Amino acid sequence: MFNLSNKITVITGGASGIGKAIALLFAKQGSTVHILDVDENANKIIDELNSSGGSCYLHNCDISQKSAVKEVVATITKDAPAIHILVNNAGIAHVGTLETTSEDDLARLFNVNVKGMYNCMHEIIPVMKKRGGCILNIGSVAAHVGIPDRFAYSMTKGAVAAMTLSVAKDYLQYNIRCNCISPARVHTPFVDGFLQKNFPGREKEMFEKLSKTQPIGRMGEPEEIAHLALYLCSDEASFLTGCDYLIDGGFVTLNN
């Protein structure tokens, strides 16, 4: 089950965190993985993947730039018969209310979290239309509930949920499935960096406090998100499309 042999996967933001976990698992399951990332340390994940028997390629690509995405997709499809899976994982965060979010902040988040996702789907869907495929968008619980000081981030993740439904509806006839995963807090390097920057000397205390905001009592792990991603992108999930899956330790439904 969950065999991805002979499938070609494109993962944005695959050099760290959730994207890295998905890349490692998909490669382990037999997929050829193409990572699109601007992380200067992305080569480390490529070495890790290939040394463990996977097949992985890195493309330095700013997904907010349509021309850059177009060029990378052309490079991939030059030698590949198809792109079977697209995981839109890349995203950036911002802390602030509407009043404390500048126009530049809003544009920065929109360009990566919304326009970047659009750019990737715009270039890859025409490729998928020939043979079918699967698109998985990484959203957030922020699209479902109000989270303090997350105005711009919540706005972009609401757009992710809406884009997922629209794409699922429009391309069902081409055998293209599109689903979304909405995690709560996941323990990634971003979380550690956030705590170090905003709570120096109190990292452990604040980590425990943030962990307890999930009713289950802890943050998620990137590998847990990857396992759900594998199922949704596998042939075993061929009857699923147009859905947004919460993976949140009860945050949305039990946190009241």
Of 57, 153, 171, 231, which one is the catalytic site residue?
A: 153
The DSSP result for 13-30, as a single string, is TTTSHHHHHHHHHHHHTT
Residue type at position 103? E
- By the 10 Å C-beta count (0-12 exposed, 13-18 middle, 19+ buried), 38 is classed as middle
Q: Is 153 a residue of the active site?
A: yes
Q: What is the dihedral of CA 154, 158, 161, 164, to 10 degrees?
A: -120
Contact 51, 24 (CB under 8 A): no
Q: Helical H runs in 80-150?
A: 103-109, 116-128
Catalytic residues: 153
